[in-house]
Structure 1
């Protein structure tokens, strides 16, 4: 009798497990199908022509100067600004975008390279019953899924390990990570799971063994942030936006509204940084998407306006690849001062960061030695004593300035919510501030919705959900094999081109083929940068690196 009951219980549990696995697989298939339908629907609804040939910078500058009036002028070529330009132009609005430096040369290229909802924010949402932070995580997880779908060549899911060194933390962290999966719903990349100490060390052998209880692995997305930013901007240009870098806003143009009699912003005086030429760009609406420099442009509109951004420096370091496995990240959820540190594989190297320190706004932030040493000390805490973590192993470091929205009651930037705000001044200047990389698209949608309403623009609804970015359409994981076969490229070079340019890699390979030289394209880029450095100095060299990498 007892045997029959045990057998029955086993059958029920086993059947339930099979049903759960089947249900999860069906949800994943459903998600894939819905994503494919979203791509088709997004492109089918567009009433904007798609250009096969990208216009040159000279042609874009001519369009800025010769167009009588744009519907929207976006200032700032980071992720948010490029996202606003793409959203605007696909709504069939006449769109312009100007960036005073190179696209993604600022904060948008100095991130942790993650597309994530924010495990830490979900923890705060639950512990403090903060509905706003919960909705921010939910929105970010939706945007994470969308970004992975529209730019598959530049992004991919990444497993991240959370090591556990106290028994009571195992169920606590497990519950939190499972909640992260549940909030993602059908957009969960892969289900999280628990690892024993032995299995954790097998997957992450350089992890500290002493007192290790086990680990939990969850999934987030990883992307090439600089190239992703470029892909958004290029896609906007393909759909007809006039996009120009090294074009600085000198001042805002204003006029009196004949209907209200009030002064309103009607464009900007711009300067070509390369030639020094100045010209006016007229627009019905100007959008301020300048990130850390948000308040600078707002003060061009009104000198007495109060600052709304509190800049925070996020420092990352690059150390050799042997510090981490090829395809497994690490999360330190509770550092010595309460911050979170990620430890991630990147381009056969390892990225460690980030810090969260109040800072001053500067065009070229420099990582401080204190921040670098703080990260190194945290790395030491999680790695085996056999692995000597040395200051000399730091191959590179960068500092990105996050434009956090100021909370007057907050004493430090760690407790500031990474949410964004959209504000419209008395003169009609639209400002988008705050937020994070993952939610650039939804931020742009909200910004354009507000701009269309405030300026009474004739516009289509937002169409950027499921809209493939430059190089994403037609890309497959095996595309690099065709590059090897058709152009005789080395395997590593072909993989680099496919992962950087997606389906546009064939165009790059054709350009290289014209030279008739057989040495690797990676070598060509390095050779060209060295020449530029010798001729023009470090500034031009830096710009070239951003362009060619």
Structure 2
């Protein structure tokens, strides 16, 4: 797959890979298990201060917080306040002292997900110095391929949006490494997002413009401890260094660290063969069991216990949210036990569905909202609000807008006369009643004629990919737009296009042989 010209050699090295959302959650849950009080969806309104009786200086002694879901505000008092807010570092520092200058220089890094066939299962590619000095990689991730990245100065926001030019930059870079017979298409992008790197300068350094390569720990005159910069790889040493600074600055008591060698939530009972017990004890699909074991560790059994019976011979339990991914409905129920409050939490912060395929995530949303609504006693208005918020999140922040615009951005159909006739004829093989549109009933009827069975929910998902106006049916013009986008490489993985082509070929093979062609025999 790689280009061979100008290829003179490479090295193989080994690295780790983790599920950052699950890791973040596991740390919080482990802290709670050891006595910490944790608060989800809570923001700092301002810092609380009091005058130190000895020095006469104001010292930070807590924070006024707001529950962003209910709007309620409350005070949290503490001997020490630690600012560990990533790209929002300077917001807290300026609450402490309005004269503080910014130390965070936020940088946007865009990543895209493309089909798994762009990388082997256990090997990726990384070039640490491209022609323009950037880093480019494409790596296997969750049976897909993740590619990136960009490094662009950006404003700090809680809702970063991937830019189309950044998506195309990554695609062009990927093309530079692959042989010409591998066509990397814009339609291959299944999801795209922008993350904000909290690059920092050291406020204690003489060179205040120089970016710190790792992280910095700073204690302000009022006692606010700030930890900024850094990366996942060194998160525990960063935490240890921060707590050492807090203990020293505030004369806090404490013994030896309890977290050296501490196993995080779910890790205690995990074994490489744990998934086999899930299959044997609960009747889960093998792929689903492997996913649960890798995602939840020993807690996978709790997820399996919440799974409902499928009503099928196999699997016995574990209804999938979407047919092509191993996420099951009981994960939504379990996510609520893990402090999930919104549908966005489920698709982006408890599972990775939104990062793997925005269209699949969009298709799963109605069922996710239904399950959460029942468990959390949501009103119809609240359910609608959650559904719309999650769709907006996928559309703006996870690349669904960019993906859908490949199909809907222009009404121009760039098919020649023969192609229009060919695809119109294919369409009419499904639209037997000449309605001008097809539904799941039409597709199901054709599939039955060629002895093909497909799950009804999966069929709805397939048609929904092409149903631009979301009226539950696919019009001829929508189908022609799809085939035009496929031709231009803007869409590459349309299941409807593949399904209709395969069905047409099967129907043609079953066409009756005329008497004159058969020689007139009986």
Normalising by structure 2, we get a TM-score of: 0.61
Secondary structure of the corresponding residue to residue 38 of structure 2: strand
| 2:389 is the alignment partner of 1:539 | yes
From 58, 65, 68, the equivalent of 1:270 is: 65
Matches within 5 A, 1:345-384: 345-384=140-179
Matches within 5 A, 1:225-264: 225-264=20-59
Instruction: Give the Cα separation in 2 of the matches to 1:509 and 1:220.
Output: 31
From 356, 362, 367, the equivalent of 1:528 is: 367
Q: Is the 8 A contact 2:124 2:139 kept in 1?
A: yes
Q: State the shift of 1:513 in Å.
A: 4.7
Deviations 1:17-38 (A, max 9, x none): xxxxxxxxxxxxxxxxxxxxxx
Secondary structure of the corresponding residue to residue 362 of structure 1: coil
Instruction: Give the Cα separation in 2 of the matches to 1:412 and 1:454.
Output: 23
Deviations 1:396-443 (A, max 9, x none): 111111111137999999x83431111111111100011111111100
Secondary structure of the corresponding residue to residue 285 of structure 1: coil
Matches within 5 A, 1:37-186: none
Secondary structure of the corresponding residue to residue 218 of structure 2: strand
Q: Is the 8 A contact 2:201 2:208 kept in 1?
A: no
Q: State the shift of 1:520 in Å.
A: 2.4
Instruction: Give the Cα separation in 1 of the matches to 2:193 and 2:216.
Output: 27
Q: State the shift of 1:529 in Å.
A: 2.7
Q: Is the 8 A contact 2:217 2:228 kept in 1?
A: yes
Instruction: Give the Cα separation in 2 of the matches to 1:412 and 1:260.
Output: 29
Deviations 1:435-455 (A, max 9, x none): 111111100000000001100
Structure showing the higher strand proportion among its residues: 1
Matches within 5 A, 1:369-408: 369-406=164-201
| 2:103 is the alignment partner of 1:308 | yes
Q: Is the 8 A contact 1:324 1:350 kept in 2?
A: yes
The residue aligned with 1:449 is: 244
Secondary structure of the corresponding residue to residue 244 of structure 1: coil
Deviations 1:56-103 (A, max 9, x none): xxxxxxxxxxxxxxxxxxxxxxxxxxxxxxxxxxxxxxxxxxxxxxxx
Instruction: Give the Cα separation in 2 of the matches to 1:442 and 1:407.
Output: 18
Instruction: Give the Cα separation in 1 of the matches to 2:295 and 2:185.
Output: 31
Instruction: Give the Cα separation in 1 of the matches to 2:34 and 2:208.
Output: 42
In structure 2, list runs of 5 or more residues that go unmatched.
321-326, 333-363, 373-382, 398-522
Instruction: Give the Cα separation in 2 of the matches to 1:219 and 1:501.
Output: 24
Q: Is the 8 A contact 2:304 2:318 kept in 1?
A: no
Instruction: Give the Cα separation in 2 of the matches to 1:336 and 1:411.
Output: 29
RMSD value, Cα: 2.7
C-alpha spacing 1:417/1:300, structure 2 compared with 1 (3 Å):
closer
Secondary structure of the corresponding residue to residue 400 of structure 1: strand
The residue aligned with 2:279 is: 484
Instruction: Give the Cα separation in 2 of the matches to 1:441 and 1:372.
Output: 33
The residue aligned with 2:445 is: none
From 314, 324, 338, the equivalent of 2:119 is: 324
C-alpha spacing 1:369/1:469, structure 2 compared with 1 (3 Å):
same
Secondary structure of the corresponding residue to residue 389 of structure 1: coil
| 2:289 is the alignment partner of 1:494 | yes
Secondary structure of the corresponding residue to residue 313 of structure 1: strand
Q: State the shift of 1:341 in Å.
A: 1.1
Higher relative contact order (CA 8 A, sep 6+): 1
From 115, 120, 135, the equivalent of 1:340 is: 135
Secondary structure of the corresponding residue to residue 452 of structure 1: helix
Q: Is the 8 A contact 1:489 1:520 kept in 2?
A: no
The residue aligned with 1:14 is: none
The residue aligned with 2:358 is: none
Q: State the shift of 1:335 in Å.
A: 1.3
The residue aligned with 2:17 is: 222
Deviations 1:286-325 (A, max 9, x none): 0000000000011111111111111111111111111111
Instruction: Give the Cα separation in 2 of the matches to 1:471 and 1:543.
Output: 29
Normalising by structure 1, we get a TM-score of: 0.58
Instruction: Give the Cα separation in 2 of the matches to 1:445 and 1:418.
Output: 18
Instruction: Give the Cα separation in 2 of the matches to 1:252 and 1:238.
Output: 27
The residue aligned with 1:212 is: 7
Secondary structure of the corresponding residue to residue 122 of structure 2: coil
In structure 1, list runs of 5 or more residues that go unmatched.
1-205
Deviations 1:363-390 (A, max 9, x none): 1111112211111111001111111011
Instruction: Give the Cα separation in 2 of the matches to 1:281 and 1:474.
Output: 35
C-alpha spacing 1:515/1:450, structure 2 compared with 1 (3 Å):
farther
Instruction: Give the Cα separation in 2 of the matches to 1:463 and 1:388.
Output: 52
Q: State the shift of 1:534 in Å.
A: 4.3
